[in-house]
Amino acid sequence: MKKPLVLPKFKDEDEEREYWDKIDITDYFEPSDFKRVIFPNLKRTNKAISIRLPEPLIEEAKEKAGKLNVPYQKLMREILQHGIRAIKTA
């Protein structure tokens, strides 16, 4: 029998994502432990939008994302999120 998996309390999705990236679940589970699960009412948490950006900005984002080895849209989403959170509201 594998060791039991005890999950910590996560403060947000980023912290949880980081946790799952670092552990190896094969230390806790056998492939036979899993059953196929279907979530018929699952709704997306992200919404696609359309935004016009200058092509040089997109190319710069792609270059920087390539150097960081991350998808450029993910990099742009994180930069946008950081920028919005940095804005002080009165």
Does residue 7 lie within any of the structural domains? no
- Sign of the alpha-carbon torsion through 73, 79, 82, 86: negative
Does residue 35 lie within any of the structural domains? yes
Does residue 6 lie within any of the structural domains? no
pLDDT tens readout for residues 15-71 = 999 999 999 988 888 888 888 888 888 888 888 999 999 999 999 999 999 999 999
Does residue 71 lie within any of the structural domains? yes
pLDDT of residue 32: 84
DSSP readout, 34-85?
A: ------TT---S---------HHHHHHHHHHHHHHTS-HHHHHHHHHHHHHH
pLDDT of residue 20: 92
Amino acid at 43: K
Segments forming the whole domain that contains residue 79: 13-86
Does residue 74 lie within any of the structural domains? yes
Report the number of distinct structural domains present in the chain: 1
Structure tokens at 87: 């804005």
